[in-house]
Structure 1
Amino acid sequence: MKDSLGPLKALLAATAVAIQAFLMGTVWGEPLCQTAQSFMPELLFGMNQNFSRARMLLKSLMITGTILGVSLGVLGTCVLLFFPNIFTPDLEVIRTMHKVLIPYFLGLSITPCILSLEGTLLAGRDQRYLGLTMSGCCTVGTLGLMFVTSRGYGLLGIWFTIVGFQWARFFLALQRLLSPSGMLFSEQQLSLYEVKELKAA
Protein backbone atom coordinates (compact mmCIF):
# COMPACT_ATOMS: atom_id res chain seq x y z
CA MET A 1 0.00 0.00 0.00
CA LYS A 2 3.04 2.19 0.06
CA ASP A 3 2.52 3.35 -3.50
CA SER A 4 -1.25 3.72 -3.18
CA LEU A 5 -2.66 7.22 -3.37
CA GLY A 6 -4.24 8.72 -0.29
CA PRO A 7 -7.99 9.42 -0.14
CA LEU A 8 -7.64 13.08 -1.10
CA LYS A 9 -5.24 12.38 -3.95
CA ALA A 10 -7.51 9.57 -5.13
CA LEU A 11 -10.46 11.97 -5.13
CA LEU A 12 -8.55 14.57 -7.13
CA ALA A 13 -7.22 11.98 -9.57
CA ALA A 14 -10.68 10.45 -10.08
CA THR A 15 -12.16 13.90 -10.67
CA ALA A 16 -9.47 14.75 -13.22
CA VAL A 17 -10.00 11.47 -15.09
CA ALA A 18 -13.81 11.75 -15.13
CA ILE A 19 -13.73 15.40 -16.25
CA GLN A 20 -11.20 14.59 -18.99
CA ALA A 21 -13.37 11.75 -20.29
CA PHE A 22 -16.47 13.96 -20.03
CA LEU A 23 -14.90 16.78 -22.05
CA MET A 24 -13.68 14.32 -24.68
CA GLY A 25 -17.29 13.19 -25.08
CA THR A 26 -18.73 16.69 -25.32
CA VAL A 27 -16.52 17.48 -28.34
CA TRP A 28 -18.67 15.10 -30.39
CA GLY A 29 -21.67 17.38 -29.93
CA GLU A 30 -19.97 20.42 -31.48
CA PRO A 31 -20.81 19.48 -35.12
CA LEU A 32 -24.52 19.69 -34.24
CA CYS A 33 -24.04 23.20 -32.86
CA GLN A 34 -22.09 24.18 -35.99
CA THR A 35 -24.79 22.70 -38.24
CA ALA A 36 -27.48 24.77 -36.51
CA GLN A 37 -25.41 27.94 -36.82
CA SER A 38 -24.70 27.24 -40.50
CA PHE A 39 -28.21 26.45 -41.77
CA MET A 40 -30.65 28.07 -39.35
CA PRO A 41 -29.94 31.74 -40.23
CA GLU A 42 -30.97 31.22 -43.86
CA LEU A 43 -34.21 29.51 -42.79
CA LEU A 44 -35.03 32.15 -40.18
CA PHE A 45 -33.87 35.38 -41.80
CA GLY A 46 -32.76 34.68 -45.37
CA MET A 47 -34.42 35.06 -48.76
CA ASN A 48 -35.65 31.46 -48.53
CA GLN A 49 -37.22 31.99 -45.12
CA ASN A 50 -39.04 28.84 -44.02
CA PHE A 51 -39.95 28.38 -40.36
CA SER A 52 -41.42 24.94 -40.95
CA ARG A 53 -38.12 23.69 -42.35
CA ALA A 54 -36.30 25.34 -39.44
CA ARG A 55 -38.43 23.35 -37.00
CA MET A 56 -37.78 20.17 -38.99
CA LEU A 57 -34.04 20.86 -38.91
CA LEU A 58 -34.14 21.34 -35.15
CA LYS A 59 -36.12 18.11 -34.80
CA SER A 60 -33.50 16.26 -36.86
CA LEU A 61 -30.70 17.76 -34.79
CA MET A 62 -32.45 16.73 -31.57
CA ILE A 63 -32.97 13.15 -32.79
CA THR A 64 -29.33 12.95 -33.87
CA GLY A 65 -28.25 14.53 -30.59
CA THR A 66 -30.28 12.04 -28.56
CA ILE A 67 -28.82 9.05 -30.40
CA LEU A 68 -25.30 10.48 -30.22
CA GLY A 69 -25.66 11.47 -26.57
CA VAL A 70 -26.93 8.09 -25.40
CA SER A 71 -24.23 6.35 -27.44
CA LEU A 72 -21.52 8.58 -25.95
CA GLY A 73 -22.95 8.12 -22.46
CA VAL A 74 -23.01 4.34 -22.76
CA LEU A 75 -19.54 4.22 -24.35
CA GLY A 76 -18.00 6.60 -21.83
CA THR A 77 -19.59 4.81 -18.89
CA CYS A 78 -18.45 1.41 -20.17
CA VAL A 79 -14.89 2.67 -20.62
CA LEU A 80 -14.76 3.96 -17.04
CA LEU A 81 -16.47 0.83 -15.75
CA PHE A 82 -14.67 -1.93 -17.64
CA PHE A 83 -11.43 -0.32 -18.83
CA PRO A 84 -10.37 2.12 -16.10
CA ASN A 85 -6.76 0.97 -16.40
CA ILE A 86 -6.53 3.08 -19.56
CA PHE A 87 -6.42 6.09 -17.24
CA THR A 88 -4.94 4.77 -14.00
CA PRO A 89 -3.91 1.46 -12.39
CA ASP A 90 -4.66 2.69 -8.86
CA LEU A 91 -7.56 0.75 -7.33
CA GLU A 92 -8.60 3.55 -4.99
CA VAL A 93 -8.93 5.99 -7.89
CA ILE A 94 -10.91 3.40 -9.87
CA ARG A 95 -13.31 2.81 -6.97
CA THR A 96 -13.82 6.56 -6.63
CA MET A 97 -14.52 6.89 -10.37
CA HIS A 98 -17.09 4.10 -10.23
CA LYS A 99 -19.11 6.09 -7.67
CA VAL A 100 -19.94 8.78 -10.23
CA LEU A 101 -20.92 6.62 -13.21
CA ILE A 102 -24.66 7.41 -13.00
CA PRO A 103 -24.32 11.23 -12.93
CA TYR A 104 -21.52 10.93 -15.50
CA PHE A 105 -23.91 9.18 -17.90
CA LEU A 106 -26.77 11.61 -17.19
CA GLY A 107 -24.59 14.65 -17.78
CA LEU A 108 -22.83 13.38 -20.90
CA SER A 109 -25.86 11.91 -22.66
CA ILE A 110 -27.75 15.24 -22.77
CA THR A 111 -24.81 17.36 -23.96
CA PRO A 112 -25.26 16.97 -27.77
CA CYS A 113 -28.91 18.03 -27.46
CA ILE A 114 -27.89 21.06 -25.41
CA LEU A 115 -25.40 22.10 -28.06
CA SER A 116 -28.05 21.69 -30.78
CA LEU A 117 -30.47 23.94 -28.90
CA GLU A 118 -27.89 26.56 -27.98
CA GLY A 119 -26.56 26.56 -31.55
CA THR A 120 -30.10 27.28 -32.75
CA LEU A 121 -30.45 30.14 -30.26
CA LEU A 122 -27.17 31.59 -31.47
CA ALA A 123 -28.32 31.25 -35.08
CA GLY A 124 -31.54 33.04 -34.14
CA ARG A 125 -29.55 35.92 -32.63
CA ASP A 126 -30.98 35.30 -29.17
CA GLN A 127 -27.68 35.91 -27.41
CA ARG A 128 -29.31 37.97 -24.67
CA TYR A 129 -31.50 35.10 -23.48
CA LEU A 130 -28.63 32.65 -23.84
CA GLY A 131 -26.33 34.89 -21.83
CA LEU A 132 -28.91 35.43 -19.08
CA THR A 133 -29.73 31.74 -18.73
CA MET A 134 -26.06 30.73 -18.76
CA SER A 135 -25.28 33.34 -16.11
CA GLY A 136 -28.20 32.11 -14.02
CA CYS A 137 -27.21 28.46 -14.39
CA CYS A 138 -23.59 29.25 -13.49
CA THR A 139 -24.67 31.23 -10.43
CA VAL A 140 -27.05 28.55 -9.18
CA GLY A 141 -24.51 25.84 -10.03
CA THR A 142 -21.81 27.62 -8.03
CA LEU A 143 -24.14 27.95 -5.05
CA GLY A 144 -25.03 24.28 -5.42
CA LEU A 145 -21.36 23.28 -5.42
CA MET A 146 -20.76 25.37 -2.31
CA PHE A 147 -23.71 23.68 -0.61
CA VAL A 148 -22.78 20.09 -1.44
CA THR A 149 -19.14 20.59 -0.49
CA SER A 150 -20.03 22.28 2.80
CA ARG A 151 -22.43 19.44 3.60
CA GLY A 152 -19.79 16.82 2.85
CA TYR A 153 -21.55 15.12 -0.07
CA GLY A 154 -18.20 14.67 -1.79
CA LEU A 155 -17.57 13.81 -5.42
CA LEU A 156 -21.02 12.33 -5.98
CA GLY A 157 -22.70 15.55 -4.87
CA ILE A 158 -20.45 17.59 -7.16
CA TRP A 159 -21.31 15.43 -10.16
CA PHE A 160 -25.04 15.60 -9.49
CA THR A 161 -24.66 19.39 -9.36
CA ILE A 162 -23.07 19.20 -12.82
CA VAL A 163 -26.01 17.07 -13.97
CA GLY A 164 -28.43 19.69 -12.66
CA PHE A 165 -26.48 22.41 -14.48
CA GLN A 166 -26.62 20.47 -17.76
CA TRP A 167 -30.32 19.64 -17.57
CA ALA A 168 -31.21 23.20 -16.56
CA ARG A 169 -29.45 24.45 -19.71
CA PHE A 170 -31.38 21.90 -21.76
CA PHE A 171 -34.84 22.73 -20.44
CA LEU A 172 -34.34 26.50 -20.54
CA ALA A 173 -33.16 26.42 -24.16
CA LEU A 174 -35.90 23.96 -25.17
CA GLN A 175 -38.60 26.07 -23.51
CA ARG A 176 -37.38 29.16 -25.33
CA LEU A 177 -37.40 27.50 -28.74
CA LEU A 178 -40.77 25.76 -28.30
CA SER A 179 -42.50 28.87 -27.01
CA PRO A 180 -45.36 30.00 -29.32
CA SER A 181 -43.75 33.44 -29.35
CA GLY A 182 -40.31 32.01 -30.08
CA MET A 183 -38.19 32.45 -33.19
CA LEU A 184 -39.30 29.14 -34.72
CA PHE A 185 -42.96 30.21 -34.73
CA SER A 186 -42.53 33.72 -36.11
CA GLU A 187 -44.80 33.01 -39.08
CA GLN A 188 -47.73 32.70 -36.67
CA GLN A 189 -46.92 36.12 -35.27
CA LEU A 190 -46.73 37.51 -38.81
CA SER A 191 -50.12 35.97 -39.62
CA LEU A 192 -51.70 37.54 -36.54
CA TYR A 193 -50.20 40.88 -37.51
CA GLU A 194 -51.62 40.58 -41.04
CA VAL A 195 -55.08 39.71 -39.66
CA LYS A 196 -55.00 42.77 -37.41
CA GLU A 197 -53.94 44.94 -40.36
CA LEU A 198 -56.84 43.61 -42.46
CA LYS A 199 -59.33 44.24 -39.66
CA ALA A 200 -57.99 47.75 -39.20
CA ALA A 201 -58.39 48.39 -42.94
Structure 2
Amino acid sequence: MSNRANDPRDSGGDAPVPFAEKYAVSPQFDDLFREGMALVEDAASYLDGPGRKDSKRLSGAAGLAYSTESMRLTTKLMQIASWLLVRRSVGRGEMTLEEALKSRQRAKLTYPAQSPRPDGFDELPDELQRLVNECDALYDRVLRLDRLISLSNDRPPRSEDNPVASQVDRLREAFEATQEAAPTAASATSSDGR
Protein backbone atom coordinates (compact mmCIF):
# COMPACT_ATOMS: atom_id res chain seq x y z
CA MET A 1 0.00 0.00 0.00
CA SER A 2 1.34 3.42 -0.94
CA ASN A 3 1.83 5.95 1.83
CA ARG A 4 1.08 9.03 -0.23
CA ALA A 5 0.00 11.07 2.79
CA ASN A 6 3.61 11.18 3.95
CA ASP A 7 5.17 11.63 0.51
CA PRO A 8 6.83 15.09 0.41
CA ARG A 9 6.53 15.08 -3.39
CA ASP A 10 2.73 14.93 -3.18
CA SER A 11 1.62 18.53 -3.54
CA GLY A 12 -2.04 17.77 -2.81
CA GLY A 13 -3.80 18.88 0.35
CA ASP A 14 -3.80 22.09 2.31
CA ALA A 15 -0.89 21.36 4.65
CA PRO A 16 2.38 23.03 3.70
CA VAL A 17 5.30 20.73 2.95
CA PRO A 18 8.14 21.35 5.42
CA PHE A 19 11.33 22.67 3.85
CA ALA A 20 13.31 19.66 5.12
CA GLU A 21 11.14 17.19 3.25
CA LYS A 22 10.99 19.25 0.08
CA TYR A 23 14.72 19.95 0.04
CA ALA A 24 15.64 16.29 0.59
CA VAL A 25 14.06 15.34 -2.76
CA SER A 26 15.32 18.33 -4.74
CA PRO A 27 17.98 18.39 -7.47
CA GLN A 28 19.88 20.93 -5.34
CA PHE A 29 20.18 18.34 -2.58
CA ASP A 30 21.39 15.74 -5.08
CA ASP A 31 24.11 18.16 -6.20
CA LEU A 32 25.11 18.90 -2.61
CA PHE A 33 25.18 15.17 -1.82
CA ARG A 34 27.45 14.40 -4.76
CA GLU A 35 29.72 17.33 -3.92
CA GLY A 36 29.99 16.28 -0.28
CA MET A 37 30.71 12.63 -1.01
CA ALA A 38 33.26 13.56 -3.69
CA LEU A 39 35.06 15.78 -1.18
CA VAL A 40 35.08 12.92 1.35
CA GLU A 41 36.65 10.64 -1.28
CA ASP A 42 39.22 13.28 -2.33
CA ALA A 43 40.28 13.86 1.27
CA ALA A 44 40.54 10.15 2.03
CA SER A 45 42.61 9.55 -1.10
CA TYR A 46 44.95 12.40 -0.29
CA LEU A 47 45.37 11.67 3.42
CA ASP A 48 45.94 7.94 2.84
CA GLY A 49 48.24 8.46 -0.13
CA PRO A 50 50.27 11.54 -1.03
CA GLY A 51 49.41 13.23 2.26
CA ARG A 52 51.39 10.66 4.23
CA LYS A 53 54.52 11.50 2.26
CA ASP A 54 53.84 15.24 2.45
CA SER A 55 53.41 15.12 6.23
CA LYS A 56 56.80 13.45 6.74
CA ARG A 57 58.54 16.40 5.07
CA LEU A 58 57.07 18.88 7.56
CA SER A 59 58.51 19.82 10.92
CA GLY A 60 57.79 22.20 13.76
CA ALA A 61 54.67 24.35 13.50
CA ALA A 62 53.87 23.02 10.02
CA GLY A 63 53.95 19.41 11.25
CA LEU A 64 51.63 20.26 14.13
CA ALA A 65 49.36 22.23 11.77
CA TYR A 66 49.21 19.22 9.44
CA SER A 67 48.09 16.94 12.28
CA THR A 68 45.55 19.47 13.55
CA GLU A 69 44.08 20.27 10.15
CA SER A 70 43.93 16.67 8.95
CA MET A 71 42.02 15.62 12.11
CA ARG A 72 39.70 18.62 11.88
CA LEU A 73 39.13 17.95 8.17
CA THR A 74 38.30 14.30 8.81
CA THR A 75 35.89 15.15 11.64
CA LYS A 76 34.09 17.84 9.64
CA LEU A 77 33.77 15.58 6.61
CA MET A 78 32.34 12.77 8.76
CA GLN A 79 29.77 15.20 10.16
CA ILE A 80 28.89 16.43 6.66
CA ALA A 81 28.58 12.85 5.33
CA SER A 82 26.39 11.84 8.28
CA TRP A 83 24.13 14.88 7.76
CA LEU A 84 23.83 14.18 4.02
CA LEU A 85 23.07 10.49 4.51
CA VAL A 86 20.36 11.23 7.09
CA ARG A 87 18.75 13.85 4.80
CA ARG A 88 18.87 11.45 1.86
CA SER A 89 17.23 8.73 3.96
CA VAL A 90 14.41 11.13 4.82
CA GLY A 91 13.97 12.03 1.15
CA ARG A 92 13.79 8.38 0.16
CA GLY A 93 11.30 7.57 2.90
CA GLU A 94 13.76 5.25 4.66
CA MET A 95 13.63 7.40 7.79
CA THR A 96 10.95 9.67 9.23
CA LEU A 97 11.56 13.32 9.93
CA GLU A 98 11.25 12.61 13.65
CA GLU A 99 13.96 9.93 13.42
CA ALA A 100 16.14 12.36 11.49
CA LEU A 101 15.73 15.01 14.18
CA LYS A 102 16.74 12.47 16.84
CA SER A 103 19.72 11.48 14.70
CA ARG A 104 20.61 15.16 14.37
CA GLN A 105 20.90 15.36 18.15
CA ARG A 106 23.37 12.46 18.13
CA ALA A 107 25.42 13.72 15.18
CA LYS A 108 25.55 17.47 15.67
CA LEU A 109 27.50 19.84 13.50
CA THR A 110 29.87 20.95 16.22
CA TYR A 111 32.43 23.17 14.53
CA PRO A 112 31.99 26.80 13.59
CA ALA A 113 31.75 27.26 9.83
CA GLN A 114 35.25 28.74 9.59
CA SER A 115 37.85 27.30 11.95
CA PRO A 116 40.79 29.47 12.97
CA ARG A 117 43.94 28.55 11.11
CA PRO A 118 46.83 27.26 13.23
CA ASP A 119 50.38 28.58 13.03
CA GLY A 120 52.13 26.98 10.08
CA PHE A 121 48.96 26.65 7.98
CA ASP A 122 50.55 28.55 5.10
CA GLU A 123 53.37 25.99 5.03
CA LEU A 124 50.99 23.07 4.55
CA PRO A 125 50.87 21.27 1.19
CA ASP A 126 48.66 23.04 -1.34
CA GLU A 127 46.39 20.01 -1.66
CA LEU A 128 45.64 19.91 2.07
CA GLN A 129 44.97 23.66 2.10
CA ARG A 130 42.58 23.23 -0.83
CA LEU A 131 40.74 20.39 0.90
CA VAL A 132 40.47 22.35 4.16
CA ASN A 133 39.14 25.46 2.38
CA GLU A 134 36.61 23.47 0.33
CA CYS A 135 35.51 21.58 3.42
CA ASP A 136 35.02 24.81 5.37
CA ALA A 137 32.90 26.27 2.54
CA LEU A 138 30.78 23.12 2.29
CA TYR A 139 30.46 22.87 6.07
CA ASP A 140 29.23 26.46 6.17
CA ARG A 141 26.52 25.67 3.58
CA VAL A 142 25.44 22.52 5.42
CA LEU A 143 25.38 24.38 8.75
CA ARG A 144 23.15 27.12 7.29
CA LEU A 145 20.84 24.52 5.73
CA ASP A 146 20.66 22.62 9.00
CA ARG A 147 19.63 25.77 10.84
CA LEU A 148 17.06 26.61 8.16
CA ILE A 149 15.64 23.09 8.31
CA SER A 150 15.50 23.25 12.10
CA LEU A 151 13.65 26.56 11.99
CA SER A 152 11.18 25.29 9.40
CA ASN A 153 10.34 22.30 11.61
CA ASP A 154 9.82 24.27 14.82
CA ARG A 155 6.16 24.86 15.59
CA PRO A 156 5.13 28.44 16.31
CA PRO A 157 4.67 29.01 20.02
CA ARG A 158 1.14 28.89 21.39
CA SER A 159 -0.18 32.08 22.96
CA GLU A 160 0.06 30.66 26.46
CA ASP A 161 3.74 29.79 25.84
CA ASN A 162 4.53 33.27 24.60
CA PRO A 163 3.81 36.26 26.88
CA VAL A 164 3.84 38.75 23.99
CA ALA A 165 1.38 36.69 21.94
CA SER A 166 -0.78 36.32 25.02
CA GLN A 167 -0.90 40.12 25.46
CA VAL A 168 -1.70 40.60 21.76
CA ASP A 169 -4.58 38.11 22.12
CA ARG A 170 -5.91 40.01 25.14
CA LEU A 171 -5.71 43.32 23.24
CA ARG A 172 -7.50 41.78 20.27
CA GLU A 173 -10.27 40.47 22.55
CA ALA A 174 -10.64 43.88 24.23
CA PHE A 175 -10.76 45.63 20.84
CA GLU A 176 -13.39 43.21 19.54
CA ALA A 177 -15.47 43.71 22.70
CA THR A 178 -15.26 47.50 22.22
CA GLN A 179 -16.33 47.16 18.56
CA GLU A 180 -19.34 45.04 19.53
CA ALA A 181 -20.38 47.51 22.27
CA ALA A 182 -20.05 50.60 20.06
CA PRO A 183 -23.11 49.95 17.82
CA THR A 184 -25.25 49.19 20.88
CA ALA A 185 -24.33 52.52 22.49
CA ALA A 186 -25.02 54.38 19.23
CA SER A 187 -28.41 52.76 18.81
CA ALA A 188 -29.31 53.52 22.44
CA THR A 189 -28.47 57.19 21.85
CA SER A 190 -30.60 57.41 18.71
CA SER A 191 -33.59 55.72 20.38
CA ASP A 192 -33.52 58.27 23.23
CA GLY A 193 -33.63 61.01 20.67
CA ARG A 194 -30.50 62.68 21.90
The verdict on a shared fold, with TM-score over 0.5 as the criterion, is no
Q: Over alpha carbons, which structure has the higher Rg?
A: 2
Q: Normalization by structure 1: what TM-score?
A: 0.31
Q: Write 1 or 2 for the structure with the bigger share of helix.
A: 1
Give TM-score, length-normalised by structure 2: 0.32
